[in-house]
Structures are given as structure tokens and as C-alpha cells.
A and B are shown apart, each in its own frame.
Chain A
Amino acid sequence: MSADSPGTISRDEVAHLARLARLAVTDRELDLFAGQLDVILGAVARVGEVARPGSDSGDIPPTSHAVPLVNVFRPDERRPGLTQEQALACAPAAEDGRFRVPQILGEEA
């Protein structure tokens, strides 16, 4: 598919997106989500009807944030953060005062 035909998404594409998003979805979910996402994309593709590049409203600036803000700085002062104990209190696994994580690289690496 291409960006010219929004509103059509394949099961394979959903599987690829789920991998990118680190979701180990099941086959059943793939079947379900592919159909549902196709319907949703068909509806949201309407945004392309307005403000299309080259159209009258093509030069509309995008809004990423409702309230116009310039950079916000705080004073560069030391202040207490979480203690090591607090930071690790809800960790799934901790060892020697550090987060214990599974191996970062897979077998093939």
C-alpha cells in the first residue's frame, strides 16, 4: 500500500507495527486489530480533505500544542531526587542497588 490510499492496512503491516511497538500480539489479535484498524484509518483519513498541500488551505501552520509557550527553564539549583531505595522499590528485579535486567542482546548477536 502507499500513502495515497489511506484507510487500508494489511494484517502483515499490523504485525510489523506491533513488532516496532514491542507488542507480542497473538494471531487472534492480529486478525481482530487488522479489521478494526482498517475501519478506524478509513475514518481518520478524512483529515486529508482539508489543509492539503497545494490547496487553498495548504499553508496552514501545524499546531503541536494548544498554548503557545517558549522554552521554560528552572533555576539551576540542586534539589533532592529519589533515593536509591525509593527508585528500586518497585523494580521487577534489583541486585546490588541496581536494576537487574534481562540480557540486552539476543542469542544471534
Chain B
Amino acid sequence: MELTRLSAAALAEKIHSREVSAVEAAQAHLDRIAAVDGTVHAFLHVAGEAALESASLVDAALDAGTPPASPLAGVPLALKDVFTTSDMPTTCGSKILEGWRPPYDATVTARLRAAGITILGKTNMDEFAMGSSTEYSAYGPTRNPWDTTRIPGGSGGGSAAALAAFEAPLAIGTDTGGSIRQPAAMTGTVGVKPTYGGVSRYGLVACASSLDQGGPCARTVLDAALLHEIIGGYDPLDSTSINAPVPSVVEAVRAGASGDLSGVRVGVVRELGGEGYQPGVERAYRAAVERLEKLGAEVVEVSCPHFEYGLAAYYLILPSEVSSNLARFDAMRYGLRVAGGASAEEVMALTREAGFGPEVKRRIILGTYALSSGYYDAYYGQAQKVRTLIARDFAAAFEQADVLVSPTAPTTAFPMGDKVDDPLAMYLNDLATIPTNLAGIAAMSVPCGLAEEDGLPAGLQIMAPALGEAQMYRVGAAYEAARDADDDTPLIQRVPALEVSR
């Protein structure tokens, strides 16, 4: 099998046994990027030289007999362009940060480097992570490897597409309202949003600080777990970081892969389905629930009556935090400054007008409105109360079930251009993923087959209480193993071949 088709775990095994060098692994992926990224456009920056240099250090250490720095040492990875990197630009998909070289590494970046993971480059995203299709990137959209006329989801469409295009076996995303899980569902890959505070936000350029959470993206549940344990854990540089051990998710995956889910209670969320959900997605999802039942899980229905207000609360809380966080882009200390204004205030307004795209402007204006005197109680204040009600819904549901499930997204990948001028239609993509962000709990998306009407991947969302990742990974791994055993080939290997340019 080609190196680029291997899972991260299999590739690591070959590297650590010296069957393959880390440099060969990096080069194979750089070659693949050169061949297909003209079409896919998953990357905003490819750091070929730095990647090969980092890989050669891993090779030198292994050749000297040093044990691997981590179970993923030498494996290449695609990093979402919202984490700071001292040796690569960090743009967040925005013109306002074009060419910015941060003076420091994010904690996630630093942990990847310390683990010997080869960072191939930075991936495309909706500007400042605002969007569900990657069409709001200022540098052009990413295309879905399953069908290049369609979106790869968003905001982390670049990271998800890089996996599905076999440009990298691992990626990092961030999930504020679904930006890891929804692209995973759209591309037939695995994406995990850890418990809020489970992965450091230091050096993660803020979208909405109370919701943002970095997490692992991969093609298999085991690969995601291996990466989760490397990037997760307490960081004194992030004051909202949880000071507790990282859940033992790799162990949980190995237990889950045996395929026995007896004793596990799986709650089907009644409100996440029905109207607005594509029939083929619902059928794939229901088949996945039946499969969990066959593995021994006890399936119960749970009701979360306030989830229907989740989208509304989210699109008040998020813009409010965005309007405050993005005030830092003031054209004074770093980033873009345009000519023309007489005063600092004018320069600021002209720069922000030129540097931000339409979705970012809309959300800043919406947030400014929601926080205005006279409207604060009716909008932001009410939204915060809804957040409490949603957290209570989850707490009640987790009394009846160990994990909750739903479709990850209401539809499969939609055609490019379909929703780009209709913000509300775009927001509806996040219907099923938003409640977990509001409550700060853990959730993941695992591919659950192809929708019959369009042959595109659908995602099974598995949600768990705060720091309950082990149970979630166990269920995900058991499901994945059963799915692959029933099908002839793993779902991701059924991506149509991309046209290769040399």
C-alpha cells in the first residue's frame, strides 16, 4: 500500500521499525500535495523544507537508538491555520493577517513538535473559523475530495479535505460550533471536539473564547485517539485549561475495537432529526444506531427540549464574543494597515473594512448589536439562560445514557455556492453540533456510510459528558470496527481518485 494511504498508526509502526524513514513518509505526502492540492486547495502554506528537516531529526534519533518521542513520531500532520507557528505564516484565512509570522508557537504546535510529528503546513479555513463550508476563506475555497464541485464543510474544511485527499494522515482542527465534526462528516473522516478546556487554547487565535476548542482529525478513531493524547492536557498558559489527566482514550479505543458494547447505554436524541434532515443521512444514521445495538449497546430515546433554541443562542453568544475578540485587529501592532485615513480611528476602520470578509463583518455587527445597551437583556442575556437550559438537558439525558448520538450534520456536502449568500441557511448546518459547544462537553463524528441519494458520506455524532471521552472513543471504535467488517473496504478508501498533476 502507498505510504499516503496508510493510517497514522500503521505509518508510525513502519517508521519506528525503520522499514520506512520519516523523511520518506514526509516526502510521499509532500509529493501527494504537489499532485492534488491544485485541485483540492486544502493548504494555505506548505512547509516542505521545514517538514523534511523535522523528519530527518526524527530519523537521526531513531537511528541512534533513541526510543520514539511519541507513538506518532515521524508521522506527517496538517495544521489548521488558526494555530500560531513561529516558522510559518498564520493567517486564519483572513487578509488582515496575510503574511503574519507570529513570534511564538501555540501550545498545540509546541506539543506536536515535541512529539516528533512532522508539520506539513497550514490548512485552509473559513475566515477566523466563521463558516460551515470553507467558502469564506479569503484565499479561495477548499474542494471536497469526494466531489470537487462540493464544499468540504467548515470551518476546518482544509484539515478534513487534506485527510480525505490522502495529503496527510493526521490534522488539527478547532471546533466552536462544529468546525471539526461537520467537515469530518462531509469528508468521511473522523473528528473530535474534546471537552472544553481539554486542549490548550494558548496560541489558538480566538473566534469565540467560551466555545473554541482544538482537537484531533484523522481517518481512523485510533489515530484520532493517539493524537488526542499528544495535544491534550493541562497548560498553565491557558487559564481555562482543565487541570486533570487526559482521559485514556487510546486504551478505550483498543477496548472498543473488540466490538463488545454490552452494558453501554446509548441515548438517541429525539430532537436531532426529522425536519431539515436529508433522508439518506437519517437512514445511514439509523443503520448506525442498529449496529450499536447489535454490538450489545442498550439504545434508549432521550429528549432535550431546549436544543431547538441552541442555534439562536449560539448565533448571539458567538457574534458577541467575536465582536469583542476581533477588536484586537486595529492596524497598529501587527497585521494589515491600509493607507488613506487621517486619524488612527479612520485607518482602523478602513483597514478592518479592507481586511475582513463579509461573514466576519456580519458577525461583528451582529455581536455589537447584541451587546448594545437596551438589547443586551433581550439577546445576550437570554442566550446565556438558554445555555443553562441546554446544559441541564444534557445533564438529564446523561442520567439515562452513557453517550448520546445523532447525525453530525443534517445533510451531506452541498454544492459550492449554494449557501454562500444566505447566512441563515449556512448556519443551519450546525444544528446538531452546536448544543455540545454551548455545554462544553465532548463529541466526535465517525463516518457512518454514504447517503443513498448522492453517494456522499454521512457522520454519526457521539456525545459524552465533560471528560467522558473514554466512553465516547470506545463506542466510536466499536462502531468503526463493525462497519469496516461488514463493508469490503474502509469507507475512506472509497473516495474517488483525484486527477493528479505532475
Q: Which residues of A contact B (CB under 8 A)?
A: 2-3, 6, 9, 13-14, 17-26, 29, 32-33, 36-37, 39-41, 43-53, 57, 60-67, 69, 72, 74, 82, 86-87, 89-93, 99, 101-107
Contact = CB atoms under 8 A, between A and B. Distances in A.
7 contacts: A22-B327, A39-B424, A44-B383, A62-B387, A64-B384, A90-B334, A92-B331
Interface of B: 100-104, 195-197, 210, 236, 239-240, 242, 306, 309, 311-313, 315-316, 323, 327, 330-337, 341-350, 352-353, 356, 358, 361-362, 364-366, 368-369, 372, 374-375, 377-379, 381-389, 391, 423-424, 427, 438-441, 466
B360 to A, nearest CB: 9
Contact of B379 (A29, A44, A103, A106): A44
Main secondary structure, interface of B, reads helix
B7 to A, nearest CB: 32
B219 to A, nearest CB: 29
A18 B331 CA distance: 17
B242 A67 contact: yes
B362 A22 contact: no
Contact of B365 (A17, A51, A67, A87): A17
Contacts of B312: 43-47
B343 A40 contact: no
Contact of A50 (B309, B369, B377): B309
Contacts, number: 201
A56 B191 CA distance: 39
Given A3-B375, A47-B312, A33 B239 contact: no
B364 A23 contact: yes
Contacts of A52: 382
Nearest to B209: A65
Contacts of A40: 315, 362, 366, 423-424, 427
A106 B343 contact: yes
Given A23-B352, A25-B361, A92 B336 contact: yes
Given A24-B349, A47-B313, A66 B196 contact: yes
Given A17-B372, A41-B369, A63-B384, 11 more contacts: A21-B368, A22-B327, A23-B361, A24-B349, A40-B424, A45-B312, A57-B389, A61-B388, A65-B240, A92-B337, A102-B343
B388 A24 contact: no
A14 B368 CA distance: 10
Contact of A92 (B335, B383, B423): B335
A5 to B, nearest CB: 10
B103 A104 contact: no
Given A18-B365, A23-B364, A33-B361, A43 B315 contact: yes
A33 B365 contact: yes
A89 B101 contact: yes
A66 B369 CA distance: 23
A105 B343 CA distance: 6
A48 B197 CA distance: 29
Contacts of A17: 365, 368-369, 372
A49 B384 CA distance: 13
Contacts of A50: 306, 309, 382, 385-386, 389
Nearest to B466: A67
